[in-house]
Amino acid sequence: MKLVRDAKTLKTKALCSLRTGMQAFNSFDDDGRITTVLLHLQHACEMLLKAVLVQNQAKVFDKEAGRSISFDKCLGLCTAHFGLTAEEAGAMRAIDSLRDAAQHWFVVVAEDLLYLNTRALITAFDAYLQRALEDSLIKHIPARVLPVSTMPPGDFEFLVDREYRLIRELLEPGRRHRDEARARIRSLLAMESIAVEEVVISERDIDRIEKAVRAGQEILEVFPRLSTVGTRTDGEGVNLVVHFSKKEGAPVRYIGGDDPADAAAVRELDLQKKFYLRAAQLADKLSLTQPKAKVLRAHLGIDDDVGCRHVFEFGSTKIQCFSDNAFRRMREALDELDIEELWRARQR
């Protein structure tokens, strides 16, 4: 396939970053190794996705922002229009989430989990490169330099379960390894990207998970999304091919923010999606003034219903937000009562 100039440049950058990531993986120097691997693998993915978009004459620049579109936007466009499979997108998202955590704070990624994620990424990268740009990794990078591990590739479920047990041990009283435990929790949260399209690692999520681990909750109660991920491997050594996949028939649980028994499984991003209405926005949707909306909320007990209201804390600032449940209950109540009479009654 003859590539346009920018697509050719982007593909070259993708291959260079992938090569650098591989060199870092196989390096004898452990200092900064994991971060280097993740940074370059994520960059390789983004450059490949943008090369495909440019080759297909898709817009890769945001006119308002004046810069190229984000990794997530590239991933969405390539999945929707240019043949990137959900499996390949999941492998790329996992690396991106791990990279984000490593770049902005710190993570501890077990060696065999790093290996599994790296090989899955290389498998996805090569497959998409062949389909979308009619090229192959083997033409640019000798198989002998692909990431190699002395550890046999384990089953994803086994590795995650082992990691969870280690986190529990690190959090035992007197161990004083809380920072490492939280860094390992952060990496497991990042790997939820394999199963869902959007993951944001929040310290509040880590706090909830740490509390659940200390309380003795099992991994399925804390990381239900990871239980839906499976791996398929072919070959061995430098020829190993790793695919992440959704388990057939795996249970999908929808966790509500109002279910305290499943608090550890709730993610901050999910709460923000559910409780997305500020008090002023809720009043506007109901065509009420804020004072009248507050009176109606008090009359219906909305603020005491954990399914209707959630308070987000940002440092010392507390912001109450409301869900569609609150809007629905208040809208139905307005059909049955006189808001003006309720407003006058509040002054008596």
- The Cα 139–Cα 136 span in angstroms is 6
- Residue 273 three-state SS: helix
Q: Report whether 75 contacts 92 (CB < 8 A).
A: yes
- Scanning the chain, the segments in alpha helix (DSSP H) are 5-25, 33-55, 71-81, 86-104, 111-133, 156-170, 178-190, 203-214, 219-222, 268-274, 279-285, 290-300, 324-334, 339-345
DSSP calls for 94-136: HHHHHHHHHHHS-----HHHHHHHHHHHHHHHHHHHHHHHS--
Ordered per-residue pLDDT tens for the chain, 348 residues = 899 999 999 999 999 999 999 999 988 888 999 999 999 999 999 999 999 999 999 999 988 878 999 999 999 999 999 999 999 999 999 999 999 999 988 889 999 899 889 989 999 999 999 999 999 998 998 777 666 655 555 678 888 899 999 999 999 998 889 999 999 999 999 888 888 777 778 888 899 899 999 999 998 888 888 888 877 777 655 556 777 777 654 444 444 444 434 456 667 667 777 888 999 999 999 999 999 999 999 999 999 988 899 888 766 788 899 989 899 999 999 988 888 888 888 765
Taking Cα atoms as reference points, which of 173, 149, 151 lies closest to residue 162? 151
Tokens representing 206 are 């880590």
What are the residue ranges spanned by the domains of the chain? Answer: 5-265, 275-345
pLDDT at 147: 66
CATH number, span 275-345: 1.10.1660
Tokens representing 145 are 């330099």
Q: Report whether 26 contacts 148 (CB < 8 A).
A: yes
- The Cα 123–Cα 129 span in angstroms is 10
Q: H or E stretch including 44?
A: helix 33-55
